[in-house]
Every structure is written in structure tokens, then in C-alpha cells.
Amino acid sequence: MTEKPFATGRCLCGAVSFSVAAPPLLMVQCHCTDCQRISGGGHLSIARFKSDGVTISGETKTHIVTADSGNTVTRRFCPTCGSRLFSESSGRPGVIGIVAGAVDDNAWFEPEMVIFKRSQPLWDITVDDVPCYDTLPPPTPT
Ligand SMILES: [Zn+2]
Ligand SMILES: [Zn+2]
């Protein structure tokens, strides 16, 4: 018996697919300039999940940067169609970010936080009735 996953998704060409067992830990909209370059738009909508509930099939390529925070951010994309799918940060072990747009049925996505508001373009309107941060939210004790 396999339980029905919370969500499934794939890249544009279908070479990379994934399933997610449980609902997200957090949903964010990120206006950082990296996300703007990646998306070609004004932000990325990202849902963060526990990594151990996410199953990925297909090969991905990685692009690794050191963020302003000093954390190592690893972004994974499909080498065939270029869809950018996953991100992980050394500051958030055990957590994986998945872009909402790659999820088959993403109607559940509802941003709980807007980050890097300082670089939000005026032409890219996102929600403002949730906590908004110029950069990242202050660290929360865990
Ligand atoms: Zn692809
Ligand atoms: Zn970003």
C-alpha cells in the first residue's frame, strides 16, 4: 500500500519528476535578484518541504552559490529543458524548496511570507497581507 502523495510535479520536458509525501513546512515568495534571473520574472514562489518526504526521479544538474548570508545554496535544474526545480541551503538542513509552478496541481499554494522585498520590481505585484521582509526573516530559535 502506498499512500497518495501530497503533491506530484515535473519539469517542462518531463525528464525530471518528483513526489512529495506531506504538506509544505513554509510557502514563500522570494524577490531576490537570483530568483528574478532564474524565473525571468519578478519572483519565485517556493514551497519548502522536509527533504525525507520528497522523492525525485531523473537526473538534475546543480548550480551552487554562496548567499549573502554565508550559506551555500544549491539549486537543481533539468539539464534538458532548463526548468529550475529544487533548492537547498546549508542553513536549512533537511529542507528542500520546490518551485510551485512545477507542481501538477498547485492550487494549495498560499504565500505565508514575502522575502527580499527590497529588490521587488514595481511591476511585479505580490501579496502584502503576510509578513514581508527586506531580506530574510530574523532567525527563529529551533
Ligand atoms: Zn526537463
Ligand atoms: Zn530568491
CATH number, domain of 107, equals 3.90.1590.10
- Residue 70 falls within a domain, yes or no? no
Distance from the alpha carbon of residue 3 to the mean position of ligand 2, in angstroms: 32
C-alpha 127 – ligand 1 centre gap (Å) = 29
Q: What three-state secondary structure class fits 117?
A: helix
pLDDT over threshold 60, residue 14: yes
Q: Does residue 13 sit within a domain?
A: yes
Residue from 34, 33, 44 nearest 102 by CA: 44
Q: Give the type of residue at 106.
A: N
Q: Which domain holds residue 97?
A: 7-59+93-119
pLDDT digits (tens, 9 = 90+) for 52-104: 999 999 999 999 999 888 999 999 999 999 999 999 999 999 999 999 999 99
Q: Residue 125: inside a domain, yes or no?
A: no
Would the pTM count as exceeding 0.85?
A: yes
CA angle 89, 130, 22 (to 5 degrees): 50
| Rounded alpha-carbon distances, angstroms, from residue 31 to 3, 40, 86, 94 | 35, 11, 16, 23
CA-to-CA distance for 58 and 69, rounded, in angstroms?
30
Ligand 1 center from residue 56 Cα (angstroms): 13
Residue 130 lies in a domain: no
Q: Find the ligand nearest to 18 CA.
A: 1
Question: Which ligand places an atom closest to the C-alpha of 35?
Answer: 2
Pseudo-torsion of CA 34, 35, 38, 40, nearest 10°?
-110
Report pLDDT for 2.
Answer: 66
**Residue 45 belongs to some domain of the structure:** yes
Number of structural domains, the chain?
A: 1
